[in-house]
Amino acid sequence: MGENNARLVAVLTGAGVSTESGIPDYRGPQGVWRKNPGAERLVTYRAYMDDPEVRRESWRMRMTSPVWRAEPNAGHRALVDLERSGTPMRIITQNIDGLHQKAGSTPRKVLELHGTASTVVCTGCGDRGPMEGALARVEAGEADPPCLSCGGILKSATVMFGQALDSGTIQQAAKIARVCDLFLAVGTSLQVEPAASLCRVAVESGARLVIVNAEPTPYDALADQLIREPIGTALPGLVSEITDSA
């Protein structure tokens, strides 16, 4: 699969890819939020919009998020190596931590299904800006900083529970799943949409499916290869196999 042929590798990444960077699984079925109703309220759109105390608590949580000091790990770096080998590839991620880009993956080749924590968006006018600026305002004493353009409620540019995923992003992800020749599902339980559907679309379109996950997934029976090893060692090995078979 070298740069002289048109084969495309799609890599779906989930929380498991970031746990080795010290970021817990928040959103998954066994994640921090789902197992703690109090925490889940902080990332539920309706509660966030309706309750100023939820917003203040959310800003406190963002201030102390492990995302800001997390560094990419061997799994992220392996995917950078795959891209730099000249293999056509796209990353579809469920993670909001920006670690693929921080590791060196080309931003336009990373589709963020659940948005990004490094940007704030106004729920009133749609204005976007860096999270860093909003956090500086919180640190300076604004417990729930409003939009500087319209006074509306600001939130991180991530998809909260009760919010729809961006339709353009889903369509792009579905297209990648349809046209890829190899679909790697890494560190995702494949129990939440649209990740599960993407996997099905890829297999039905004739792609080889490789699943790298510590726990069984509903798609294991469809996989051509199952890897249970830790991602930090499994992914570099897998990337070597792909680039060596060029």
Give the catalytic positions in this structure.
114
The strand pair at 182-186 and 9-13 is best described as: parallel
Stretch that binds Zn ion, among 61-69, 152-160, 163-171, 232-240 (CB under 5 A): 152-160
Using the rule CB under 5 A, is 124 a contact of Zn ion? yes
Using the rule CB under 5 A, is 147 a contact of Zn ion? yes
Measured from the CB atom, the residue of 152 and 230 that comes closer to Zn ion is 152
Using the rule CB under 5 A, is 181 a contact of Zn ion? no
CB of 127 to Zn ion, least distance (A): 5
Dig out the tokens for 119 from the structure.
């940007």
Stretch that binds Zn ion, among 100-108, 151-159, 176-184, 206-214 (CB under 5 A): 151-159
Total of chain residues touching Zn ion, rule CB under 5 A: 8
Using the rule CB under 5 A, is 133 a contact of Zn ion? no
- With left for phi above 0 and alpha for psi between -120 and 50, is residue 86 left, alpha or beta? left
Stretch that binds Zn ion, among 21-29, 127-135, 202-210, 226-234 (CB under 5 A): 127-135
Dig out the tokens for 112 from the structure.
């963020």
Secondary structure letter of residue 69 according to DSSP? G
Q: Which of 86, 150, 215, 216 binds Zn ion (CB under 5 A)?
A: 150
14: nearest Cα among 212, 181, 225: 212
Q: Are 93 and 13 contacting, i.e. CB atoms less than 8 angstroms apart?
A: yes
CB of 153 to Zn ion, least distance (A): 8
Measured from the CB atom, the residue of 125 and 143 that comes closer to Zn ion is 125
CB of 62 to Zn ion, least distance (A): 18
Using the rule CB under 5 A, is 149 a contact of Zn ion? yes
Site residues for Zn ion, 83-122, by CB under 5 A, read 122
| Neighbour count for residue 112 (Cβ, 10 Å) | 25
Angstrom CA distances, 186 to 37, 42, 56, 152, 224, stand at 27, 27, 34, 38, 14
Provide CB contacts within 8 A for 14, sequence distance 6+: 28, 93, 94, 95, 185, 186, 187, 188, 189, 195, 213
Using the rule CB under 5 A, is 143 a contact of Zn ion? no
| Neighbour count for residue 218 (Cβ, 10 Å) | 12
Using the rule CB under 5 A, is 127 a contact of Zn ion? yes
Give the interface with Zn ion as residue ranges (CB under 5 A). 122, 124-125, 127, 147, 149-150, 152
